[in-house]
Structure 1
Amino acid sequence: MNNAIRHTWVVAVGLFITLFVALSIIQVGVTDELNANPNNVRQVYEDRGAPRGAITVDGSAIAESVPSDNASFDYQRVYHEPDLYSGITGTYSIAANPTGLEGTLNEYLSGHSDSQFFDRIASVFTGDTMDGGQVELTLDGELQQLAYDQIPDGTRGSIIVTEVATGDIKAMASKPSYDNNRLAVQDSAQLVQNQEELEADPDLRYTSRAISSTMAPGSTFKLVDLVAMLESGDYEPDTVLENPNSITLPESSTELRNFDRGICAQRPQAELSWIVAQSCNTPFAEAAMELGEDPIREAAENFGFNSDDLGIPLRVDTSNFPRDLSDAALAQSSIGQFDVTSTPLQMNMVAAAIANGGTLMKPNLVDAIRGSDLQLLEASEPETLSEVTSEEVADEITEMMVQVVESGTGTRAQTGSFQVAAKTGTADVGDTGEVNSWITGFAPAEDPQYAVTVAYERIDYDTGSSLTGPQMLTMLEAAIE
Structure 2
Amino acid sequence: MNKPIRAVSIFSLALFVALMVNVTYIQFWKAEDYNTDPANARAAEASFARERGLILVGQDPVARSKPVDDQYKYLRVYPKPFQYAPITGYLQLGSQTGIERSQNAILSGEDPRLFVNRLVDLLQGDSNQGGNVVLTINQRAQRIAYEMLQETVGPEGEGSVVAIEPKTGRILAMVSLPTYDPNELASHNAAERTKAYDRLEADESEPLLNRAIQTRLFPGSTFKVVTAAAAIENGLYTIDDNVPSGASYQLPGTTGEQNVVDNEGRYLCNSEEISFATAMAQSCNTAFAKMAVELGPEKMRATAEAFGFNSDYLLDLPGQAQSVYPKSVTDVIDGEEQPPRELNDAETARTGFGQFDVQSTPLQMAMVAAAIGNRGTLMRPYVVEEVQTADYQTLETTDPDELRPAISPETAAQVTELMVDTVDAGTASPAAIPGVDVAGKTGTAQRGIAGAPPYGWFISFAPAGNAQVAVAVMIQEAPGKEIAGGQLGGPIAKAVMEAVMEK
Normalization by structure 2: what TM-score? 0.85
Query: Alpha-carbon deviations, 1:72-130, whole Å to 9, x = none?
Result: 21111111111100010001101x32110000010111111121122233344443211
Q: CA deviation at 1:241?
A: 2.2
Instruction: Supply the AA of the counterpart residue of 2:351.
Output: S
Q: Where does 1:291-440 land on structure 2 (aligned, <5 Å)?
A: 291-323=295-327, 324-430=342-448, 431-440=450-459
2:274 is matched with which residue? 270
Equivalent-residue separation in structure 2 for 1:83 and 1:136 (angstroms):
19
SS of the residue 1:199 aligns to: helix
Pairing 1:199–2:198 present: no
Using the TM superposition, name which of 154-163 and 177-186 deviates more: 154-163
Displacement of 1:304 after TM fit?
A: 0.6
Q: Which runs of 5+ in 2 are unaligned?
A: 1-25, 328-341
Is 2:432–2:494's contact at 8 Å kept on the other side of the alignment?
yes
Give the deviation of 1:223 after TM superposition.
1.1
Q: Please, which moves more after superposition, 108-117 or 391-400?
A: 108-117
Q: CA deviation at 1:265?
A: 4.3
Query: 2:243·2:276 contact (CA, 8 Å) conserved in 1?
Result: yes
Instruction: Report deviation, 1:280.
Output: 0.5
Please tell me whether the aligned partners of residues 110 and 133 of structure 1 are also in contact (alpha carbons under 8 angstroms): yes
Partner-residue secondary structure (3-state), 1:455: strand
2:85 aligned partner? 86
- Secondary structure of the residue aligned to 2:96 is coil
| Shift in Å, 1:291 | 1.4
Contact persistence 2:99–2:316 (CA under 8 A)? no
1:94-133 aligned at under 5 Å gives the runs 94=93, 96-133=94-131
Q: Identify if the C-alpha distance between structure 1 residues 43 and 471 changes in structure 2 by more than 3 Å, giving closer, same or farther.
A: closer
Amino acid at match of 2:314: L
1:185 is the counterpart of 2:187:
yes
Go from structure 1 to structure 2 and tell me whether the alpha carbon gap of 1:220 and 1:444 turns closer, same or farther (over 3 Å shift). Answer: same
Q: Is the 8 A contact 1:312 1:363 kept in 2?
A: no
Number of aligned residue pairs: give it.
454
Cα distance in 1 for residues equivalent to 2:201 and 2:176: 17
- SS across alignment from 2:173: strand
Equivalent in the alignment of 1:8: none
How far is 1:252 from its partner?
Answer: 2.3
Choose from 218, 221, 224 the match for 1:219: 221
Identity of aligned residues (%): 38
RMSD: 2.3
Decide whether the 8 Å contact of 2:442 with 2:485 is kept in 1.
no
Letter in 1 for 2:434: G
Q: Are 1:243 and 2:242 matched, yes or no?
A: no
Answer whether contact 1:28 1:121 (CA < 8 A) is retained.
Answer: no
Aligned AA for 2:322? T
2:174–2:212 Cα contact (<8 Å) kept = yes
Is the 1:144–1:173 Cα contact (8 Å) retained in structure 2?
Answer: yes
1:319-355 Cα deviation digits (max 9, x unpaired): 0110121221111111101111101110010011001
> How far has the Cα of 1:186 moved from its partner?
0.8
Contact 1:48 1:93 in 2 (8 A): no
User: Is the Cα contact below 8 Å between 1:88 and 1:207 reproduced in 2?
Assistant: no
Give the alignment of 1:155-166 within 5 angstroms. 155-166=157-168
Q: Structure 2: how far apart are the matches of 1:409 and 1:377?
A: 47
SS of equivalent residue, structure 2 residue 451: coil
Contact between 2:324 and 2:360, CA under 8 Å: does it hold in 1? yes
Is this contact kept in 1: 2:78–2:183, CA < 8 A?
Answer: yes
**Equivalent residue of 2:467, what SS?**
coil
Deviations 1:253-281 (A, max 9, x none): 24232331423444332011211111111
Equivalent position of 1:259 in the other structure: 263
Aligned-partner Cα distance in 2 for 1:433–1:34: 47
CA contact (8 A) 1:92 1:102 kept: yes
Change (3 A) 1:244 1:267: closer
- The answer for the alignment partner of 1:66 in structure 2 is 66
C-alpha separation in 2, matches of 1:162 and 1:110:
28
Distance in 1 between residues matched to 2:290 and 2:95, nearest whole Å: 49
Instruction: Return the TM-score normalized by structure 1.
Output: 0.89
CA distance in 2, matches of 1:394, 1:40: 49
Partner of 1:288: 292
Residue aligned with 2:325, SS: coil
Change (3 A) 1:40 1:477: closer
